[in-house]
Amino acid sequence: MHIDFSDDMRQAFVITRNEIKKFMSGKKIFLFGILLTLVIVLNAAMPYLLGGGYDYPIEVAKNFLGMIDLLIILAAVMFAATTIVSEYEERTVLILLTRPVRKWVIFIGKLIASFAIVSVFMAIMYVFTAVYSVAVTGSVVGEIGTSFGLCLCAVFGVCGFAMLLSTIAKKSSTASIMTLVLLILVLAIIGSLLQEQGIDTSWLLISAMGSIYRVLSGIPIDSLVYDAGVMIGWGVVCTAVGLILFKKRDL
Amino acid sequence: MSSGCPIEFVNLRKEYGSFVAVNNLNLQIQKNSFTGLLGPNGAGKSTSLKILTNLVSATSGNVYIYGHDVADDPKTALEGVGTVVETPEFYLYLTPRETFRYIGEIIGMGKESIAAQTDAILEKVKMTEWADAKLGTFSKGMRQRISLGLALIDDPNVIILDEPTSGLDPRGMAETREILKNIRNDNNDLTVLMSSHMMHEVSDLCDRIAIIHHGTLMVHDTFDNVIMDRDAIVLVVKPLDDPEPHMIDAISALPNVIGVERQGGEIHVRFKGDRRDVAAFYRELAGLDFPICGMSESTNALEDRYLELIKESK
């Protein structure tokens, strides 16, 4: 078998570009944009409407980024969870798979697109948080960069997880609901049950994602590296399993 | 595999649970042929073509395109292959021009080459006018024309068509057939494998026929050989005047005629013989004492043979 890796990556880039175009032309990007705007406006205005305000940058960062893990999950549900299954559901896979392109290239192209679009939304959130913090408190919390780095690790982990489910599911709605329920509910239940038994749950994706927020208050660097490793590990394992299942998936 | 055939199915088998869709299929498609793959519903036509186009994996056996195993190396095998599998859907937010660009870029074509080919192909499939309209607004027939056009991008040397007129209205079917004829006439160095269960479509387009039933190959030969290898063929004779009993008697008396019946203004002659016998029959027919304004082989010839074969296999 002849493998031309550079040509494979070129094809992956073409697929990524088309996937981003697909996201940009759909309603989901508009919906998520509204959701993000709502979060930003509420965080920016509510404290003042309630007669308070922000005195320190840490308050701004903790309020704005307090639900960043939930936003990552919602973004992955909207974009990554449907990216593979929708090709089968809408039968566009017929024009893609019958071309001289390897299945893993399609998968990676779509993963990169999902990662990119979710990351851009998160970057908007972080940029707005920093700009707003400087505007109202005169400075920004120093750990915001590290938090964004951890956020990107989480985006990779969650997108990998969502794409794995997208590879298995028969319908986009099923993949979206499964991603949401498993990440928000099932893993949380498993986490609390294990904790009750005194079992370490730091290896769970959502436990590790907590470090995106915790870092703002300052936590040891070795703990951050571990959490980043857990999130990347989830991404790598889910991507690998997703790739295998996608290769085996028939029309 | 090095038989030199553009497409080869070798001991191909596909099982869905206990149902065997393709059963040890061995078939070699001749270079530059337009081969019709026929068979009843569930015979394994579509499954075979989906395995050939990397959409479905085989349980066992192999398919090769120019010697490259599709399952092992789909990227190399599908290079230079155009496909139309059923009526594919498109990315509705793209225009035909953008779709051609997307597929062209995946294949690795240069921008200029894509632009030049897009214009030429859209003209060929009569879609120039809609080159920049969103595909979401297109009818099924229009989408099928775009899909045929996509199969032509980068000048393929093999085209695989899985029921390309399925689900189209009569006008859409006629347009698609016309495009396929033109594609064939424009390129002599092209091998086409088309599945269909429409006999007239296959008769109209194909020079070779492969019939499969219960996932197994029953016959594969030239169109002429397949239809001549029958118990009898039906020749249609059109007298200038309404058929009369003496005409029927005269035709019945000619050599190799095994049955004659009147059907409206035509006389249908069941005939047993080869091409030379048919030619001799036409000569003798012209010498009879009543004027004839038309003679032809029944357009149902392929259907007759097909039904014979299917019946035999039961």
pLDDT tens readout for residues B29-39: 999 999 999 98
Amino acid present at B13: R
| Structure confidence at residue A3 (pLDDT) | 63
Is residue A244 helix, strand or coil? helix
Q: Could you tell me the CA-to-CA distances from A208 to A115, A203, A215 in Å, in that order?
A: 18, 7, 11
Quick one: pLDDT at residue B170? 83
In this prediction, residue B165 has a pLDDT band, given cuts at 50, 70 and 90, of: confident
Q: Is B206 exposed, middle or buried (0-12, 13-18, 19+ CB in 10 A)?
A: buried
Query: What is the arithmetic mean of pLDDT over B9-15?
Result: 94
Tell me the mean pLDDT in the region B137-166.
89
pLDDT at B224 over 60: yes
Q: Which of A200, A92, A109 is nearest to A159 (CA)?
A: A109
Nearest CA in chain B to A7: B108
Quote the CA–CA distance of B188 and B32 in Å, as a whole number: 7
- Higher pLDDT residue, A130 or B174? A130
Q: Could you tell me if B154 lies within 8 Å of chain A, comparing CB atoms?
A: no
User: CB-based contacts of B79: which residues, under 8 Å, 6+ apart?
Assistant: A100, B107
CB atoms within 10 A of CB B292: 16
Q: Which of B77, B79, B90 sits opposite A95 (nearest CB)?
A: B90
Do the Cβ atoms of B78 and A98 come within 8 Å? Answer: yes
Query: CA distances (Å), A16 to each of A112, B104, B290, in order?
Result: 6, 15, 73
Q: What is the per-residue pLDDT across A72-99, written as a single tens digit (0 to 9) for each?
A: 999 999 999 999 999 999 888 888 899 9
Burial class (CB within 10 angstroms; exposed 0-12, middle 13-18, buried 19+) of B143: buried
Q: What is the pLDDT of residue A4?
A: 75
How far is A164 from chain B, CA to nearest CA, in Å? 19
- What pLDDT does residue B1 have? 53
- pLDDT at residue A37 greater than cutoff 90: yes
Cα distance between residue B48 and residue B51, in whole Å:
5
Q: Closest residue of B to A99, CA-based? A: B78
pLDDT band for position A183 (50/70/90)? very high
pLDDT of residue A12: 96
DSSP A98: T
The sign of the CA dihedral B72, B75, B76, B77 is positive
B89 touches chain A (CB under 8 A): yes
Min Cα distance A113 → chain B (Å) is: 15
3-state secondary structure of A199: coil
CA B80 from centre of chain: 20
Instruction: Give per-residue pLDDT as tens, A186-203.
Output: 988 998 899 899 999 999
Q: What is the pLDDT of residue A77?
A: 96
Is residue B212 a contact partner of residue B25, using CB atoms and an 8 Å limit? yes
Contact between chains at A92 and B108 (C-beta distance less than 8 A): no
Q: Report how many Cβ contacts below 8 Å link chain A to chain B.
A: 79
What percent of chain B shows pLDDT beyond 90?
40
- Mean pLDDT for chain B? 87
Query: pLDDT band at residue B299, thresholds of 50, 70 and 90?
Result: low
Q: What does R_g of chain A's alpha carbons equal in angstroms?
A: 19
- What pLDDT does A236 receive? 97
Say if the Cβ atoms of B55 and A99 lie within 8 Å.
no
Phi, psi of A22 (to 5 degrees): -60, -45
pLDDT beyond 90 at A221: no
- Tally of residues, chain B: 314
- The residue that leads in pLDDT, B303 or A70, is A70
User: Are the C-beta atoms of residues A60 and A216 closer than 8 Å to each other?
Assistant: no
Which residues in chain A are closer than 8 Å to B73, comparing Cβ atoms? 1-2
Would an 8 Å CB–CB cutoff place B284 in contact with chain A? no
Global pTM value: 0.85
